[in-house]
Amino acid sequence: MVNVIGLGYIGLPTALMLASHGVQVVGTDYNTKLVQTLQAGQTTFSEAGLEALFASALEAGIRFSGEYQSTDVYIVSVPTPYDRDSKKIDPCYVIAAVKQILSVCAEDAVIVIESTVSPGTMDRFVRPLCQGKKVHLVHAPERIIPGNMLYELEHNSRTIGADDPQVGQQVKELYSSFCKGEIVVTDIKTAEMTKVIENTYRAVNIAFANELAKLCHYEGMNVDEIIRICNMHPRVNILSPGPGVGGHCIPVDPWFLVGDYPEHTPLIAKAMTINEEMPDFIYSRICSIMEEHGISDFSKVGLYGLTYKEDVDDVRESPTLQLLQRHPMPFAVYDPMLTETIADNQYTDFTNFLQDTHLVVVMVAHSHLRSVSEAMKDKIIFDTRRALKGMDTYRI
Ligand code: SAJ
């Protein structure tokens, strides 16, 4: 039996996927409300295909509990935040989970950490906890992208870092129950480093695109057209500029490297700062557009989108929230993916939102926009995501 610890954005789909492929699974979370919701047969966030997978896992017998189970395989998917001042990882949730596992697990149990950790975390923080009990440590970092999680769980390649290649092989077989991608077995520190570097590569590439956007704006040029043409070169692949970088990974994980290796990461540190400054650049662009159109009342400016990216309901590190926090003006806000109110002046009805605003700033390219673009025709639009094709809008 596998006990999956942490039933959030990664743990839940992983637990469901294993269960629906014939593995006996118990999912555990310290959040009793979340466990009760799952026990009542409801999912806890929206993701394409999750409901159907949940139904199939329930049918296969998955159970949810607030208690750690006594078994021989654990998969830990708990958050790994970072300390904003030191930029170093804060492994408190991983440590707490491993301590609890050690108090109930069988001798020779395999403890797989899926949470993203900085290189050396397993050696520094996890291994010392295991003194006195014979367990096998593995790091198998998750790689799936919100918005396409279930497809990627099944098709992405994976990395398994283990001390003992035989244990690595055993964990590989477990993941092979559902994963069709290639599974590479390596050592723990290599697995830690590869995961953080993958997200850092993306952060640096986005920062490059963001810098180009600022440069092109200064020069009065169209950055999208420039990137489009450059990307026709067979060895160039520039990502897209945007209003900032959100989520729980790209704006967080690269800081682990800067925190631990400040002398060796000037490029990464600069890239992260460029991304973090994008909400301020957007704010200054909004102010110039308002001035151009004689708008002085911020409540007539509507920010469309509060989530960190399109078609998800996750608001962690959201660029819109960053903008609102740093520039607390009475903007109108709306997000079709959210049912809860999380910001001041947040509308729940798009028609009302549109009626009350003169300038709409598209912060997130939700699919919902496609069905309402016609109604937005008479508005002044600042489209920071290139979402409204063929319309006359201000661009980033
Ligand atoms: N963004 C841009 N421009 C782009 C692409 C993204 O501004 O061209 C922004 C998005 O709008 C968003 C942020 O970056 O605010 C991050 O979004 P994302 O889609 O790049 O990534 P995440 O955070 O949803 O997922 C990433 C993925 N990592 C990589 O692609 C290397 C995913 O595979 C990881 O599993 C995930 O981080 C994680 O949990 O580590």
Are 124 and 250 contained in the same domain?
A: no
Q: Is the CB of 146 under 6 A from ligand 1?
A: yes
Q: How far apart are the first and last CA of the chain?
A: 51
331 shares a domain with 268: yes
In-domain check, residue 193: no
Give the largest Cα separation in the chain, rounded. 71
Looking at 187, 217, 249, the residue that finishes a domain is 187
Domain count, the chain: 2
Which stretch of DSSP H or E encloses residue 326? helix 319-326
Q: What is the pLDDT of residues 172-228, one digit of tens each?
A: 999 999 999 999 999 999 999 999 999 999 999 999 999 999 999 999 999 999 999
- The answer to whether the CB of 285 is under 6 A from ligand 1 is no
Whether residue 369 lies inside any domain: the answer is yes
Q: What is the reported pLDDT for 272?
A: 98
Distance CA 172, CA 189 (A): 17
pLDDT of res. 84: 84
The CATH number assigned to the domain holding 313 equals 3.40.50.720
Q: What 3-state class would DSSP assign to 75?
A: strand
Instruction: Give the DSSP per-residue string, 275-303.
Output: HHTHHHHHHHHHHHHHHHTT---GGGEEE
CB distance 207 to 242 below 8 Å: no
Q: Is the CB of 317 under 6 A from ligand 1?
A: no
Name the closest-CA residue to atom 29, ligand 1.
Answer: 199
Q: Are 326 and 283 in contact (CB under 8 A)?
A: yes
262 and 147 fall within a common domain: no
* pLDDT the model gives residue 61: 97
Give the nearest ligand 1 atom to 116 CA.
40
CA distances from 223 to 87, 231, 240 (A): 32, 12, 9
Question: If you average pLDDT over residues 323-330, what whole number do you get?
Answer: 98
User: Over 90: is that where the pLDDT of 87 sits?
Assistant: no
End residue of a domain, out of 152, 187, 222: 187
Q: Is 195 a catalytic residue?
A: yes
Nearest one of 373, 377, 379 to 387, comparing CA atoms: 373
Written as six digits, the tokens of 216 are 């092109």
Residue 260 lies in a domain: yes
- Residues 251, 165, single domain; the answer is no
At residue 332, the pLDDT reads 98
161 and 210 both lie in a single domain: no
Residue 275 is assigned to a structural domain of this protein: yes
**What integer pLDDT is reported at residue 15 of this predicted model?**
98
Q: Which helix (H) or strand (E) holds 383?
A: strand 380-383
Same domain? 54 vs 112: yes
Together in a domain, 10 and 129: yes
Token pair for 206: 């986005």
User: Position 242: which residue type?
Assistant: G
**Of the candidates 395, 336, 332, 328, the residue with the CA atom closest to the CA atom of residue 371:** 336
- For residues 145 and 220, state if they share a domain: no
156 and 289 in a single domain? The answer is no
Q: What is the mean pLDDT of the chain?
A: 97
Q: Specify the pLDDT at position 82.
A: 87
Domain presence at residue 195: no
Predicted local confidence at residue 26, as pLDDT? 98
Place of tokens 């920071």: 384
The question of whether 92 is a catalytic residue gets the answer no
The finding on whether 6 has its CB within 6 A of some atom of ligand 1 is no
Q: For residue 374, what pLDDT band results from cuts at 50, 70 and 90?
A: very high
Residue 146 located in a structural domain = yes
Report the atom number in ligand 1 closest to the C-alpha of 143: 35
End-of-domain residue from the set 187, 208, 228:
187
> CB neighbours (10 Å) of residue 230?
12
Instruction: Kindly state whether residues 252 and 304 are assigned to the same domain.
Output: yes
Check if 308 has its Cβ closer than 6 Å to any atom of ligand 1: yes
Per-residue pLDDT band at 247 (split at 50, 70, 90) = very high
Rounded Cα distance between 93 and 99, Å, is 10
* 288 lies in some domain: yes
Q: What is the pLDDT of residues 129-163, one digit of tens each?
A: 999 899 999 999 999 999 999 999 999 999 999 99
Please tell me the residue having the least CA distance from ligand 1 atom 40.
Answer: 249
User: Residue 49 is part of which domain span?
Assistant: 2-187
| Nearest protein Cα to ligand 1, atom 22 | 145
CB atoms within 10 A of CB 194: 17
- Note whether residue 192 is domain-resident: no
Same domain, 244 and 379: yes
3 Cα: distance to centroid of ligand 1 (angstroms): 28
Question: How confident is the model over 9-67, as pLDDT tens digits?
Answer: 999 999 999 999 999 999 999 999 999 999 999 999 989 999 999 999 999 999 999 99
Look up tokens 């979402």; give the residue: 387
> Is 131 in the same domain as 250?
no
Q: Could you tell me the pTM of the whole model?
A: 0.95
